Amino acid sequence: MRLLTTETVDDTDIVHGDVVYACAISGANIVRDMREAITNTIGGRMTRYERLLDKTMAAAFDNLRERAKEQKYDGVLGIRVSHPMIVSGAIEIVVTGTGFRYAKPRA
């Protein structure tokens, strides 16, 4: 399954499909929120949220692959990632793109 940010595939002919999207939401916890609020106040990297964001981003891409596979696509083009939102102790990420199929079977 190819996931591409480009609008085309240069190495072979493809047939464009429909929009494919997926989301992932991960919850933080109250302790993590309090620690990150303190870090935000005094300055510094919010490493706990960074790890949670990485985990959530990976889950969103895994979900996108699965949805594209369910729709019998060979990949997704023009992938866009929503601006991750951290609100009320949760991180939400939405990814979208255009499904595609290879015009000819790949060798």
Within-domain flag for 25:
yes
Assign 93 to helix, strand or coil.
Answer: strand
* d(C-alpha 107, C-alpha 48), whole Å: 43
Cβ burial, residue 37 (10 Å; 0-12/13-18/19+): exposed
Average pLDDT along the chain: 85
What does the pLDDT read at residue 15?
94
Q: What is the pLDDT of residues 8-35, one digit of tens each?
A: 888 889 999 999 999 999 886 656 566 6
Q: What is the CATH number of the domain that holds 96?
A: 3.30.110.70
- Both tokens of residue 74? 């060979």
**pTM for this prediction:** 0.80
Local structure of residue 84 (DSSP, 8 states): P
Within-domain flag for 62:
yes
How many domains does the structure of the chain reveal?
1
Within-domain flag for 56:
yes
Q: What is the mean pLDDT of residues 56-74?
A: 97
What does the pLDDT read at residue 33?
60
**Residue spans of beta strands (DSSP E) within the chain:** 2-3, 14-27, 75-81, 85-87, 90-102
Nearest residue to 17 via CA among 105, 81, 102, 106: 102
Within-domain flag for 107:
no
What does the pLDDT read at residue 41?
64
What does the pLDDT read at residue 83?
78
Within-domain flag for 81:
yes
Range of the domain at 49: 2-102
